[in-house]
């Protein structure tokens, strides 16, 4: 009875400039305080060599075929080339989801092939685009779940250099009318995972959809994230890294800092500035001229986070 048919088928310039494709974010852990800097900015290279660094990339959307970027594999390749050119090799990389556009095997294959060129251990969490196969999430888990001994729909944790990292899934079993969701089983697992950690352990939580409500109208938030933040608030340094919204947004709340990464595929509009959260159209020449233009300093405490936009051509 049911069938699928396959048919072939301003806001301000300042804002446009902070939202670009083809970049990753370099994180430096120094004294438990993460700092980030967009690749391509000279300051990224000035990070102290003694620091522990890791990378975040997000929203590759391999398989997307439309304006403003019909070839997101090429921009992913550019981002990975920048990673390879870093003077200090990062310890590893995290990918905060939407690796693919349609969860197709060839999309995962292509992404893996390009990301593999970075020769970095890479830790993934799924985006909603990665779990739309016939049996939702099976393809993702078979590919990425085993190495991390992922539980449930793909959550896991690991330690590196005294920092505790937790990959969480907030794109599975979403309910009509809702936003991102973690679910009771995952929250119980997280409580158990964190309970023996000392309050001085720096915590990094990463998941696809932002953990704070960026814009409810577009579903840009996680319904039950308050419970995560309750579990995390006793720690002296908690950093939450997300993707999904294809633009940099930051927020600080007590000892918690939140950050969303840009996409390597296409930008999306700032909240409420367009009829919907679809790809934002930009001329091709403009797309690349604004790569690597955002620098972020994330500081512990309640100070506002510093965001500096600068065009690469002026660096």
Residues at the contact surface with other proteins, assessed by CB under 8 A: 1-9, 64-67, 101-103, 128-129, 132, 134, 136, 174-179, 216-219, 275-279
User: Are the C-beta atoms of 213 and 131 separated by less than 8 Å?
Assistant: no
User: Are the C-beta atoms of 183 and 171 separated by less than 8 Å?
Assistant: no
User: Are the C-beta atoms of 54 and 307 separated by less than 8 Å?
Assistant: no
Positive or negative, the CA dihedral 208, 99, 139, 4 is positive
What CA–CA distances, in Å, run from 235 to 13, 55, 74, 257, 313?
A: 38, 22, 40, 12, 41
Of the two residues 5 and 192, which places its CB atom closer to other proteins in the complex?
Answer: 5
Q: How far is the CB of 277 from other proteins (least distance, A)?
A: 6
Of the two residues 24 and 219, which places its CB atom closer to other proteins in the complex?
Answer: 219
Of the two residues 124 and 156, which places its CB atom closer to other proteins in the complex?
Answer: 124
Of the two residues 216 and 306, which places its CB atom closer to other proteins in the complex?
Answer: 216
Of the two residues 31 and 276, which places its CB atom closer to other proteins in the complex?
Answer: 276
Q: How far is the CB of 155 from other proteins (least distance, A)?
A: 20
Helix (H, G, I), strand (E, B) or coil at 47: coil
Q: How many CA atoms lie within 13 A of 187 on its CB side?
A: 14
Q: How far is the CB of 9 from other proteins (least distance, A)?
A: 3
User: Are the C-beta atoms of 268 and 277 separated by less than 8 Å?
Assistant: yes
Specify the length of the chain in residues: 315
Of the two residues 4 and 196, which places its CB atom closer to other proteins in the complex?
Answer: 4
User: Are the C-beta atoms of 262 and 23 separated by less than 8 Å?
Assistant: yes
Q: How far is the CB of 128 from other proteins (least distance, A)?
A: 5
Q: How far is the CB of 178 from other proteins (least distance, A)?
A: 5
Q: How far is the CB of 281 from other proteins (least distance, A)?
A: 10
Of the two residues 64 and 206, which places its CB atom closer to other proteins in the complex?
Answer: 64
Q: How far is the CB of 97 from other proteins (least distance, A)?
A: 12
Task: List CB contacts of 101: < 8 A, sequence separation 6 or more.
Answer: 61, 62, 63, 64, 72, 107, 129
Cβ neighbourhood burial of 291 (10 Å; 0-12, 13-18, 19+): buried
């Amino acid at each position: 009875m049911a069938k699928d048919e396959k048919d072939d088928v301003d806001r301000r310039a300042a804002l446009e400039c902070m939202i670009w494709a083809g970049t990753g974010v370099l994180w430096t852990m120094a004294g438990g305080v993460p700092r980030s800097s967009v690749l391509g900015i000279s300051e990224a290279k000035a990070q102290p060599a003694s620091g522990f660094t890791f990378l975040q990339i997000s929203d590759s959307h391999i398989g997307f075929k439309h304006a403003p970027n019909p070839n997101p594999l090429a921009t992913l390749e550019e981002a990975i080339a920048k990673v390879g050119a870093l003077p200090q090799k990062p310890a590893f990389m995290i990918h905060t989801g939407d690796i693919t556009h349609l969860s197709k095997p060839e999309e995962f294959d292509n992404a893996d092939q390009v990301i593999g060129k970075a020769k970095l251990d890479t830790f993934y969490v799924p985006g909603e685009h990665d779990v739309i196969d016939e049996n939702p999430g099976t393809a993702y888990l078979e590919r990425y779940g085993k190495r991390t001994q992922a539980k449930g729909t793909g959550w896991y944790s690991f330690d590196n250099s005294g920092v505790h990292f937790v990959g969480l899934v907030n794109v599975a079993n979403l309910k009509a009318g809702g936003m991102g969701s973690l679910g009771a089983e995952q929250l119980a697992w997280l409580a158990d995972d964190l309970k023996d950690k000392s309050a001085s352990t720096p915590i990094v939580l990463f998941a696809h959809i932002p953990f704070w409500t960026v814009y409810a109208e577009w579903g840009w938030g996680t319904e039950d994230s308050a419970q995560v933040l309750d579990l995390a608030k006793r720690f002296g340094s908690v950093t939450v890294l997300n993707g999904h919204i294809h633009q940099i947004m930051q927020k600080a709340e007590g000892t918690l800092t939140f950050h969303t990464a840009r996409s390597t595929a296409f930008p999306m509009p700032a909240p409420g500035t367009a009829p919907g959260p679809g790809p934002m159209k930009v001329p091709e020449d403009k797309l690349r001229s604004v790569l690597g233009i955002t620098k972020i300093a994330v500081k512990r405490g309640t100070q506002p986070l510093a965001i500096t936009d600068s065009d690469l051509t002026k660096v």
